Structure 1
Amino acid sequence: MANRTYDISQTNTGSLSNNKVLRNTYMLLSMTLLVSAASAWTAMAMGVGQMNIFIFLIGAYGLMFLVHKCKDSAAGLAAIFAFTAFMGFTLGPMLNLYLSLPNGGQIVGMALGMTGLTFVGLSAVALVTRKDFSFLGNFIMAGAIVLILAMVAAMIFQITALALAVSAGFVLFASAMILFETSRIVNGGETNYILATISLYVAIYNLFVSLLSILGIMSDD
């Protein structure tokens, strides 16, 4: 009887801890998305041109490394806000380009709406079912390598069909990341809300950019 009571107590403690991580993650994710949106608007207002790919890669991966390095301290919060502000700033030129199209506003609005609905839907699946999606880990690792190579090939050869395929691949990749990371939080696999936040943010960023690209390619304009 005592052991059963202890097991129930341990389960309740673990559940409360997981809920706390989930709550902190969604709170921080909301704030980072607002910072990213403000940064994108600033870049758009300033008319900033497209960033050099090497500067983008150094800035994005450098700040991401910093977030992981400082994940257990207050500096991690500053690092994740710096990362999301940088990523938002890189969206500015892209959004200006799409908004310059005759139906650009519709494309951006649709991509934003589809991103939000996809995130909410996939998160709900992981939260309600509490299913363990850790089996997606190998798929995500392999998919990341394949997508990076395909993305480089698409940039070099400028093949529209390949670019469309890469964008579709990133949509699947980002969707898998949302399921995987949310499942890890719910089931206690991820206990650091800063790392959970940056994973979900990157998934949302990739999902939005990929949907924007797909809708842009399919548009008559």
Structure 2
Amino acid sequence: MANWSDPRTTAARYATGADTRSDAYDAGLRSYMLSVYNYMASGVLLTGIVAMFFAMSGAAASLFNPATGGTSVLGWIVMLAPLGIVFAMSFGQARMKTSTLQMLYWGFAVLMGLSLSTIFLVYTGTSIAQAFFATAAGFAGLSLYGYTTKKDLSGLGTFLIMGLVGLIVAMLLNAFFFQSGTMGLVISMLGVLIFAGLTAYDTQKIKSMYAHVAGTEMMGKVVIMGALSLYLDFINMFLFLLRLMGNSRS
């Protein structure tokens, strides 16, 4: 007669089922995070290619003139358009289709490339490459920490977001009133630290979202918005690091 009441048999059967569910969840989570990283990395790559070729074509110099600070009307539109897209995606994601968010994300990456083409006019190619690879290495380590740590980073995220608001205020004050090189250096250092922390925080937050959207139509949207968050962390950390270690062409 089958020993169906044996607790060891029952426990083994349930344990096998739990392991199967756990394995399926882990596989889904890895696929989900890989999609986020693929979108993020592709967006950064697209931005870099657009920025480099736009600068090399001479079109960047006609829209932006870093030497004199002069920027055409079209140049201002190009610089402000990415911010408008970020707000549209952030506040309209619930109403938008996944395909619409994808289109906006790629459009955002292209416009960021046009806007960031000015770095090729200001800094040497070697400086840009060094800052990029340093950012990539730091981003990879920080994102891995955010993915693997058991520590809840939500409290750190609140602190970092408050710091980001303060950083923006300090940048505006320094740009329009103080114009201090020392203050600019401190702002750049704080910017690197803040976006380094946000990289770990956002990675953990994106990972935690999987439990809520797995198997739903929302997952595609969450993947794109997660990629956008990590993209912004990477680009901002890169720009602040470039200001710290970059060598000017002049």
How would you bin the TM-score normalised by the shorter chain?
0.7 to 0.9
Q: Aligned partners of 1:188 and 1:66: how far apart in 2? A: 21
Corresponding residue number in structure 1 for 2:129: 109
Corresponding residue number in structure 2 for 1:161: 182
Note if contact 1:14-1:188 (Cα within 8 Å) is conserved in structure 2.
no
Does 1:88 find its partner at 2:113? Answer: yes
Does 1:176 find its partner at 2:187? Answer: no
* Superposition CA RMSD, Å: 2.8
Q: Secondary structure at the match of 2:154?
A: coil
Note if contact 2:79-2:115 (Cα within 8 Å) is conserved in structure 1.
no
Question: Aligned pair in 2 of structure 1 residues 15, 39: CA closer, same or farther (>3 Å)?
Answer: same
Note if contact 1:43-1:92 (Cα within 8 Å) is conserved in structure 2.
yes
Q: Which amino acid aligns with 1:172?
A: L
What do the CA deviations read for 1:129-152 (whole angstroms, capped 9, x no partner)? 354322222112201210110010
Corresponding residue number in structure 2 for 1:152: 172
Q: Which amino acid aligns with 1:179?
A: A
Percent of residue pairs bearing the same amino acid type: 23
Matches within 5 A, 1:68-147: 68=90, 69-70=92-93, 72-98=97-123, 104-147=124-167
> Between Structure 1 and Structure 2, whose CA radius of gyration is higher?
2
Q: Aligned partners of 1:46 and 1:57: how far apart in 2? A: 18
16-25 vs 74-83, greater mean Cα deviation: 16-25
Of the three residues 193, 202, 205, the one matched with 2:235 is 205
Does 1:42 find its partner at 2:67? Answer: no
Q: Which amino acid aligns with 1:43?
A: F
Q: Where do 5+ consecutive residues of structure 2 fail to align? A: 1-10, 65-70, 214-221
How many matched pairs? 215
Question: Aligned pair in 2 of structure 1 residues 143, 72: CA closer, same or farther (>3 Å)?
Answer: farther
Corresponding residue number in structure 2 for 1:101: none
Q: What is the CA distance between 1:10 and its match in structure 2?
A: 5.8
Q: What is the CA distance between 1:186 and its match in structure 2?
A: 2.7
Which runs of at least 4 in structure 1 moved beyond 6 Å after TM superposition?
2-7
Q: What is the CA distance between 1:197 and its match in structure 2?
A: 0.4
Q: Aligned partners of 2:203 and 2:56: how far apart in 1? A: 34
Corresponding residue number in structure 2 for 1:196: 226
63-72 vs 147-156, greater mean Cα deviation: 63-72
Q: Which amino acid aligns with 2:193?
A: L
Corresponding residue number in structure 2 for 1:64: 86
Q: Aligned partners of 1:160 and 1:119: how far apart in 2? A: 27
Question: Aligned pair in 2 of structure 1 residues 95, 153: CA closer, same or farther (>3 Å)?
Answer: same
Corresponding residue number in structure 1 for 2:6: none
What do the CA deviations read for 1:63-101 (whole angstroms, capped 9, x no partner)? 112333246520111100111111121111122211xxx
Matches within 5 A, 1:8-23: 11-23=22-34
What do the CA deviations read for 1:142-194 (whole angstroms, capped 9, x no partner)? 01210110010111121101111111111111111110111123333685111
Q: Secondary structure at the match of 2:98?
A: coil
Question: Aligned pair in 2 of structure 1 residues 93, 166: CA closer, same or farther (>3 Å)?
Answer: same
Q: Which amino acid aligns with 2:149?
A: T
Q: Aligned partners of 2:187 and 2:28: how far apart in 1? A: 38
TM-score by length of 2: 0.75
87-96 vs 182-191, greater mean Cα deviation: 182-191
Q: Which amino acid aligns with 1:167?
A: S
Q: Where do 5+ consecutive residues of structure 1 fail to align? A: 99-103
Q: Secondary structure at the match of 1:172?
A: helix
Q: What is the CA distance between 1:56 and its match in structure 2?
A: 5.5
